[in-house]
Chain A
Amino acid sequence: MTLLSVKDLNVCFPTGEGIVHASRDVSFSMESGEVLGLVGETGSGKSVIGQAIIRLLPTNANITGTIAFNGQELTTLKDDAMHALRGRVISLVPQNPSGSLDPLVRNGMQIGEIFIERGMTKNTAWDKACDLLVAVGLIPSDRIAKEYPHELSGGMRQRLTTSIAIAEKSCLIIADEPTKGLDYHARETTARVLSDIKTRDNVSLLLITHDLYLAEHLCDWIAVLYAGEIVEIGPAGQIFNTPRHPYTQALIRAMPKNGLVPLDGQSPSLMAIPKGCCFADRCSCHSEICSKEHPDLIQESLNGGVRCHHPSCN
């Protein structure tokens, strides 16, 4: 059944210099136990979507559209009802693990306080925290539990924040750049932990990343974002093997293993979105219509589509 359904989500931020359109007309849906990857470059609006779902956007954000979670509309949900969902039913693995952990609290208690909040004794909470550390591969767990966040490497801190996110049996985990800046081993471990959670607990995962390797390895579905909008969405295999949008094609060609072909130019400012296709001035197959008319996302199946006047042109 459909767990999460986002429809026509628009997020904008009024600033002194103008309105930043961070996310425009984003629609997608996720079934239970599925992994959807939101990929795209920095500033493409990926994190904003995740934060809109879990309602952690700054108060000046203007949000329109609907976000239905298990049939419940999240955008209009009362704060206390949202509070009951957040961290319990919908969890977030934040982007910056170092900034998300309390530097004065031992690693074990970073997780343990969740269980204490639930009414468990300190000892039981500590033991459960150690079990979770083992689950994410932080071994020996009893030693690591007694240490502080600064004694862990970046990869270990990332796994610690992941273990906090899985402490409650959530239905949906939003993982925001879980592998940013990690080395290969740490990436591999993080990927394994995330894929274990998915298979073991039938949790849905919204993976926000610019790490295409991770996306290819973990995702069932992928949505490619460019300048705040989805330009292509479809099954992961299809996106990687037969990408149709010129931007998706360029992203995949830019991967070192695919030849490191650079894509010239920059994405447009989110304060001055072009009238036509946002990708037109970087696209090798643009024509007159591209700079005049904004392409719609042409739905080819329930969750697949491409926003381009000339799909599959390369």
Chain B
Amino acid sequence: MSPPVLQLTGLSKSYGHGDIFSGISFEVGSGKTVGLFGQSGSGKTTLGRCIMRIENPSSGQIMMQGMDLARIRRGKLRDLRPSFQMIFQHPEVSLNPRMTLGESVAEPLMVHKRIGMDDALREIGPLIRRVGLRDEHLARYPHQLSGGEVQRAVLSRIFSLKPKLVVADEPTSMLDVSVQAQVLRLMQDLQKETGVSYVFISHDPDVMSVMCDDVLWINHGKGVMYDRSAFIDRVKTRYILDVPA
């Protein structure tokens, strides 16, 4: 069996007023999806941001490709960045409002590969069509696009770097149910095609049940790991309203 793409050991984060979470340990296998589930304010987004090193964990290890991201030097972190990427919750603020979609999706390749805009767009072209965007979209600005279109653009931006791990922070909670299905299916297809691993953050148990192999249920700063069927059983006993008998 191949080694895990990501391995967290005893990860903790606290601010001045107390622990957000503590002692979080789990691993994500290649091509697998691990969900982070919990209520608003449970710390699941902060955990995702710590994995991305957008925030610094207080203690613990984040092992990726044999290196501990929690202790890595900045320059080294930058070299590793293309291999782990994040999708944010709010499509309306995910892209620079003053850049066209074409500029936004080409940007990561231009930065990391040091190539020009035209080359970047040529390279990302098949991916743009793969996520269901058309050339006409590229000239538009984010406010001229729907939430679903922005999330597709974000996916093409991220996957242009061929990441090994994507942290998806409630990528569809602001989308309609029909658009949510499109985006989630696209994420599943991209996973099959590229073998990427996901850390999938959501508060929707139905979405979790569809997307995740394992789910870390975060409650009061502690995480408990469930496999998919155990998670579904546990949800049924906790949420009566929305899960039909």
Taking Cβ atoms with an 8 Å cutoff, the residues of A that contact B are 41-43, 153-155, 180-188, 191, 210-213, 217, 250-251, 254-257, 260-264, 266
Tell me whether B39 and A41 are in contact (CB under 8 A): no
Once A42-B147, A155-B40, A256-B204 are accepted as A-B contacts, the answer to whether A263 and B178 lie under 8 Å apart by CB is yes
The contact of A254 among B177, B209, B242, B243, by CB within 8 Å, is B177
Please give, as numbers and ranges, the residues of chain A lying within 8 Å of B239 by CB-CB distance.
Answer: 184, 188
The answer, among A43, A155, A213, A256, for a CB contact under 8 Å with B209, is A256
- Which of B39, B185, B241 is in CB contact (< 8 Å) with A183? B39
How many angstroms from the CA of A249 to the CA of B41 in the assembled complex? 35
Contact with A along B172-193 (1 / 0, CB 8 A): 0110111111101100000000
Cβ-based interface call for B205 (8 A):
yes
- CA of A191 to CA of B41, assembled, Å: 20
Inter-chain contact A191/B241, CB cutoff 8 Å: yes
Q: Are A217 and B241 in contact (CB under 8 A)?
A: yes
- Whether, in the assembled complex, B63 has its beta carbon less than 8 Å from a beta carbon of chain A, the answer is no
The 8 closest A-B pairs by CB, nearest first: A256-B206, A183-B203, A254-B181, A41-B176, A262-B181, A262-B182, A183-B40, A254-B178
Q: List B residues at the A interface (Cβ < 8 Å).
A: 39-41, 146-147, 173-174, 176-182, 184-185, 203-207, 209-210, 239, 241-244
The one of A184, A210, A254, A266 that contacts B203, using a Cβ cutoff of 8 Å = A184
Name which residue of chain A comes closest to B241, CB basis.
A188
Closest chain A residue to B239 by CB distance? A184
A186 with B181: CB separation less than 8 A:
no
Contacts of A254 in B (CB 8 A): 177-178, 180-181
Contact (Cβ within 8 A) B146 A43: yes
Other-chain residue from A153, A185, A257, A262 in contact with B178 (beta carbon distance below 8 A) = A262
Q: How distant is the Cα of A260 from the Cα of B207 in the complex, in angstroms?
A: 9
Q: How far is the CA of A212 from the CA of B175 in the complex (A)?
A: 12
- Contact partner of A262 (CB less than 8 A), chosen from B185, B206, B209, B242, is B185
Q: Can you name 21 A-B residue pairings with CB atoms under 8 Å?
A: A41-B176, A42-B147, A153-B40, A155-B40, A183-B203, A184-B39, A184-B204, A184-B239, A184-B242, A191-B241, A210-B176, A213-B241, A213-B242, A217-B241, A251-B177, A255-B177, A256-B184, A260-B185, A263-B178, A263-B182, A266-B146
> In the complex, A154→B40 CA distance in Å?
9
Given contacts A153-B40, A184-B205, A256-B181, 14 further A-B contacts (CB under 8 A): A42-B146, A42-B179, A154-B40, A184-B39, A186-B39, A210-B177, A213-B242, A217-B241, A256-B209, A257-B209, A260-B181, A260-B184, A262-B181, A262-B184
Measured in the bound complex, the distance between the Cα atoms of B176 and A266 in whole Å is: 12
Q: Which residue of A lies closest to B149 (CB)?
A: A266
B173 touches A264 (CB 8 A): no
**Chain B residues with CB below 8 A from A212, complex form:** 177
Task: Please name all residues of chain B whose beta carbon is closer than 8 Å to the beta carbon of A42 when the two chains form the complex.
Answer: 146-147, 176, 179
Interface residue from B179, B203, B206, B241 paired with A41 (Cβ < 8 Å)? B179
When distances are taken between beta carbons in the complex, the residues of chain A under 8 Å from B242 are 184, 187-188, 213, 217
- A146 to B185 CA separation, bound complex (whole angstroms): 45
Contact A180 B174 (CB under 8 A): yes
Q: A184-B204, A187-B242 are in contact. Are A41 and B178 (CB under 8 A)?
A: yes
Tell me the bound Cα distance from A260 to B180 in angstroms.
Answer: 8
Considering the chains assembled together, what is the distance between the CA atoms of A261 and B179 in angstroms?
A: 10
Contacts of B146 in A (CB 8 A): 42-43, 266
